[in-house]
Amino acid sequence: MTASPPNLFDRALHRRRLDRAAPGYATADFLKERAAQDAVARLEAIMRRFPLAVDMGARHGAFARALARSDAAAKVDLLIETDLSAAMLADRPGPRLAMDEELSAFAPESLDLIISTLSLHWTNDLVGALIQIRRSLKPDGLFIGSVLGGATLTELRQCLLEAEAEISGGAGLRISPFADAFDAAALLQRAGLALPVADVDSVTVRYAHPLALLRDLRAMGETNVLRDRPRRPLTRRVLLRAMELYAQRFSGPDGKVVATFEIITVTGWAPHESQQKPLRPGSAKMRLADALGTVEIKTPR
């Protein structure tokens, strides 16, 4: 029997949070903009065209804008934007589709390029979503994606857990767990994507007060949607204690506090016979000893 994928996140609640965030999303889009610019920079280094591309989890179009400012725009003939939230896609030009990343609407081998910046970390089955992405790509099609990594919001996580445990005698998960950077390339391989590459971008943001961080998270639509999240909201006492701990432990000489965000970016290709393959064991043309300029010493069997 095949095990069912985990059901960690309430996707309907996530959609509602994104719908709520849509009107003011531009006030806190700095991470999305950064990830979109990085994806465009990777496209600039690839010398080929992508006639049909999809931006999955487009939000308010950061990738489309970054692409339009780049020479890489000439490499993409048509860009379709999708998002879990129809409100995020409203009032923008170009083809758009409200779509859940867990249920791809695209036909097999129909796309040349799929971009997804900072949305897939809310999928219940990340490998399953990546498998659907690989199936939607034409052979030798490209996927560029980014998700929030495990170090994200480490300061806030510590302070909330300690404050709630101190005052309430126990603590629940108030912040979602995020992907581990060490597993990123392996996830692509499990999904059947070839030539996987993963990079980590650690971003430190400074705020006048920890409450400003909470406002940004709400404006991003990045607040907790774990199914097993505590059903009771944080009490005022717990929240104030968490903010006090945050200011004590993570503020600089100027009084501003820091917040860490980790962006894991991956690239992978739909398999194609033209792609480079790893050499078979024993097929190397040069001995390692020759390359290192040393003497090879054979060991007894």
pLDDT digits (tens, 9 = 90+) for 242-252: 999 999 999 99
pLDDT band at 173 (very low <50, low <70, confident <90, very high): confident
Type of residue found at 67: L
For residue 240, the SS3 value is helix
pLDDT category at 231 given cuts 50, 70, 90 is low
Tell me, what's the pLDDT at 126? 92
The reported pLDDT for the residue numbered 274 is 82
Among 5-14, 174-183, 271-280, 292-301, the range with the most confident prediction by mean pLDDT is 5-14
How much is the average pLDDT of 119-145? 96
Q: What percent of the chain has pLDDT over 70?
A: 88
Q: What Cα–Cα distance (Å) separates residue 111 from each residue in 18, 28, 73, 135, 300?
A: 26, 30, 17, 9, 54
**CA 249 to CA 15: how far, in whole Å?**
34
Mean pLDDT of all residues in 146-155: 95
Whether the pLDDT of residue 78 is over 60: the answer is yes
Structure tokens belonging to residue 268: 């992978």
Report yes or no: 64 and 58 within 8 Å, Cβ to Cβ: yes
Predicted confidence (pLDDT) at residue 86 exceeds the cutoff of 60: yes
Better-predicted residue by pLDDT, 277 or 11? 11
**pLDDT mean over 110-120:** 97
Window from 56-70, 189-203, 264-278 with minimum mean pLDDT: 264-278
Closest to 202 measured CA to CA, from 150, 163, 248: 150
CATH number of the domain at 11-150+176-207+261-292, please?
Answer: 3.40.50.150
Please tell me which residue, 91 or 149, carries the higher pLDDT value.
Answer: 149
Answer yes or no: are the C-beta atoms of 175 and 289 closer than 8 Å: no
DSSP 70: S
Which of 26-40, 45-59, 78-92, 216-230 comes out lowest in average pLDDT?
216-230
- What's the confidence (pLDDT) of residue 6? 73
Average pLDDT over residues 84-92: 94
Calculate mean pLDDT across residues 220-246.
88
Name the region of 140 (left: φ>0; alpha: ψ -120 to 50; beta: rest).
left
Q: What is the mean pLDDT of the chain?
A: 89
Q: In one letter, which amino acid is 89?
A: L
Place of tokens 């009490």: 235
pLDDT at 153: 96
